[in-house]
Structure 1
Amino acid sequence: MRKTLYIIGLSTVVFSCTSQQNAKKRQYIPKTPSIQQKATAQTPAEKPKPKITSDHGVEFFTTNIADITKNDNTASYGSIVSAKPAGYKVVKDYFPAIAQNFRQRYLILHYTALPDDKSITVLTQQAVSAHYLVNNTGDNQIYQLVDENKRAYHAGVSAWRADKNLNDTSIGIEIVNTGYTTDASGKRIFAPFDDAQIKKVAALVKDIVNRYQIPATNILAHSDIAPTRKQDPGPLFPWKKLYDEYQIGMWYDEAQKQSYYDLATSTDFQLQYNDPTFIFNVQTQLQKFGYALDLSGKWDDATKKTIEAFQYHFRPQNYDGIMDAETFAILQALVLKYPLK
């Protein structure tokens, strides 16, 4: 009996061991699959940014890495101004962000209505200023009076298109010129500009508008942005010469102007002149071009002065403030060429 039980027990042990060995043999060991990676587009490595340069502890960044087509610009035309918070360190590990542009969006031209020496005194010692003063002394010097990064007090109460208070967004250039006198009939007689002085102005304007990408529509007379108050730089300032010879500022296309003129003179222009609908249309066109003007439907004082300012700039042969057929044709040609965006 014991022998029988011994044989049965031994058989059980052998069977159990054999089963475990077979289980080990049958144990599933997953294979590591050979996965082929799909080809993916490689993201180009970010280009290293130009380094900030330092000179005697003052930092500069003079390379544009932003999108110039969006009028963005990361270059600095001066030192980088940074905060210095107590107990903390301002770092420029991620400088500069590409979404930025210049404060300087307008360039405004003035005359001083004073001779050279008095112009310097007034613009440096009184409550008015400009970034630059172009003298009339026959030398090659142009006086800088205010840092381009700072506001100068030259525009005063002002507006153009959607913008107001243009001191905030402009560079002002004063040109030494005695302005105007008034004849017996009350007509303003303006002083001419010297050719050598205009060459200075052209070179200065060209440099500024190229650096800040200032568009032609934003190169303006003081009289454009404050037509009810100002006349400078007046009708003898050579806007067409700057446009033709230096590609500075705005001017109309002669063929387009002639087309509008022919249309105006083919109808009885004078008959509709005092019609409120026509006056409203004239005011609307002046407003569309850029002038800040209320649409009153009347030939009020503000409208007449605005027309006069427009004529100073674009029709200087006659600046009587009357919207004749030629002035209206020029206005329409300019609105077509330089539409509001």
Structure 2
Amino acid sequence: MRKTLYIIGLSAFVFSCTSQQNVKKNTYKPKTPVAQPKPVAKTPVPVAPKPKVVSDHGVDFFTTNIADPTKNDNTASYGSIVSAKPAGYKVVKTYFPAIAQNFRQRYLILHYTALPDDKSITVLTQQAVSAHYLVNNTGDNEIYQLVDENKRSYHAGVSSWRNDKNLNDTSIGVEIVNAGYSSDSTGKRIFAPFSDEQVRKVAALAKDIITRYQIPATNVLAHSDIAPTRKQDPGPMFPWKKLYDEYQIGMWYDEATKQGLVSMAETDFATRYNEPSFIFLVQTALQKFGYGVEASGKWDDATKKTIEAFQYHFRPQNYDGIMDAETWAILQALNQKYPVK
């Protein structure tokens, strides 16, 4: 009996040791070292140094654009920087300029004075009307500046174009010395021509302003475009097509597009001219292009004057204020070329 118990105890001991060895063998797993990726050194992106504000006799200037021109942003200052001078404090330009800014000057508006040179100067400098520039008709190479470009001149009056109103706030005005118009025996307006010297001056001036302020072609306009019910200037003798062709200034339609629309326009006028729905369509097209005309569905006086203003600019051979097939084709061609964005 004692021998039997000994054998059983020895067997249990051997089984216990074996089990512990198996457990240790099954649970032990040597750790394999994992290679850690080496950190990649970041190359710092070089930041272009911001141009400094330049001081001259205590006046600050910043003439370099560091903003994004594709967004029509521009940080350049054409003239001195105007700054506050709060009592007891110092305004510093350590972080000047902020990128998010653009120009106030978004339109260029052309006028005629309907006065000779000397009277034009007097009226535009001494009375309650003005312009930024006056182009004389004396045959010299001078252009008179009358108002700082950063300030509003009183040239546009009650005005609108597309979604903008009161264009004195956002425009530069250029007056051109010209006699304006007289009326013949039938009441038709006969407009005075512009001299070649004046046209060259206007083109050079306009090109400079448009380039500096990034003014789009759709915003180079006649006074009659932005106030068609009350203004005629600069009238049908002003050479808009010449400025477009020779100087790339302003808008003009594509002849091929216009010709492709003429036959359809002729059909419209032969069959639909007096239908309110067609009149409404024409008025809506004038609105779409930019004119502030009410879509009344009637050939009313405001619509006639707006058509007349359109013809002054884009169909100067006939400016009777009556919408005909060619004028209708030109309007549609312009709306295709210059859609509202």
TM-score (norm 1): 0.88
**What residue in structure 1 maps to residue 275 of structure 2?**
275
**What residue in structure 2 maps to residue 123 of structure 1?**
124
1:255-302 Cα deviation digits (max 9, x unpaired)? 00001102222x252331010000000001000000011111111111
**What residue in structure 2 maps to residue 11 of structure 1?**
none
Residue 309 of structure 1 aligns to a residue in which SS?
A: helix
CA–CA distance in structure 2, aligned partners of residues 238 and 100 of structure 1: 34
**Within the alignment, does 1:46 sit opposite 2:47 as a pair?**
yes
CA–CA distance in structure 2, aligned partners of residues 160 and 38 of structure 1: 59
Query: Offset of 1:227 from its aligned partner?
Result: 0.2
CA–CA distance in structure 1, aligned partners of residues 251 and 48 of structure 2: 38
**Within the alignment, does 1:243 sit opposite 2:234 as a pair?**
no
Whichever residue aligns with residue 307 of structure 2, its letter is I
Residue 217 of structure 1 aligns to a residue in which SS?
A: helix
**What residue in structure 2 maps to residue 256 of structure 1?**
257
Moved more, 52-61 or 33-42: 33-42
Instruction: Structure 1: give runs of 5+ residues left out of the alignment.
Output: 1-32
CA–CA distance in structure 2, aligned partners of residues 117 and 34 of structure 1: 89
CA–CA distance in structure 1, aligned partners of residues 243 and 326 of structure 2: 22
**What residue in structure 1 maps to residue 182 of structure 2?**
181
Residue 238 of structure 2 aligns to a residue in which SS?
A: coil
Whichever residue aligns with residue 308 of structure 1, its letter is E
**What residue in structure 1 maps to residue 309 of structure 2?**
309
CA–CA distance in structure 2, aligned partners of residues 268 and 223 of structure 1: 27
**What residue in structure 1 maps to residue 325 of structure 2?**
325
Which stretches of structure 1, 4 residues or more, deviate above 3 A after TM superposition?
A: 33-37, 40-43
- Taking the TM superposition and a 5 Å limit, the aligned residue runs for 1:1-341 are 37-39=38-40, 41-265=42-266, 267=267, 269-341=269-341
Query: Offset of 1:141 from its aligned partner?
Result: 0.3
Query: Offset of 1:42 from its aligned partner?
Result: 3.4
CA–CA distance in structure 2, aligned partners of residues 199 and 213 of structure 1: 21
Cα distance change on mapping 1:100 and 1:188 into 2, 3 Å: same
Cα distance change on mapping 1:40 and 1:283 into 2, 3 Å: farther
Query: Offset of 1:47 from its aligned partner?
Result: 1.4
Query: Offset of 1:35 from its aligned partner?
Result: 6.6
Query: Offset of 1:46 from its aligned partner?
Result: 2.1
Residue 143 of structure 1 aligns to a residue in which SS?
A: strand
1:183-228 Cα deviation digits (max 9, x unpaired)? 1111100000001110000000000000000000000000000000
TM-score (norm 2): 0.88
Residue 270 of structure 1 aligns to a residue in which SS?
A: helix
Residue 109 of structure 2 aligns to a residue in which SS?
A: strand
Matched-pair identity in %: 80
Query: Offset of 1:177 from its aligned partner?
Result: 0.1
CA–CA distance in structure 2, aligned partners of residues 208 and 63 of structure 1: 17
CA–CA distance in structure 2, aligned partners of residues 110 and 48 of structure 1: 43
1:118-157 Cα deviation digits (max 9, x unpaired)? 0000000000000000000000000000000000000000
Residue 174 of structure 1 aligns to a residue in which SS?
A: strand
Aligned length: 308
CA–CA distance in structure 2, aligned partners of residues 184 and 305 of structure 1: 20
Query: Offset of 1:250 from its aligned partner?
Result: 0.1
Whichever residue aligns with residue 216 of structure 1, its letter is A
Whichever residue aligns with residue 93 of structure 2, its letter is K
Residue 173 of structure 2 aligns to a residue in which SS?
A: strand
Cα distance change on mapping 1:268 and 1:171 into 2, 3 Å: closer
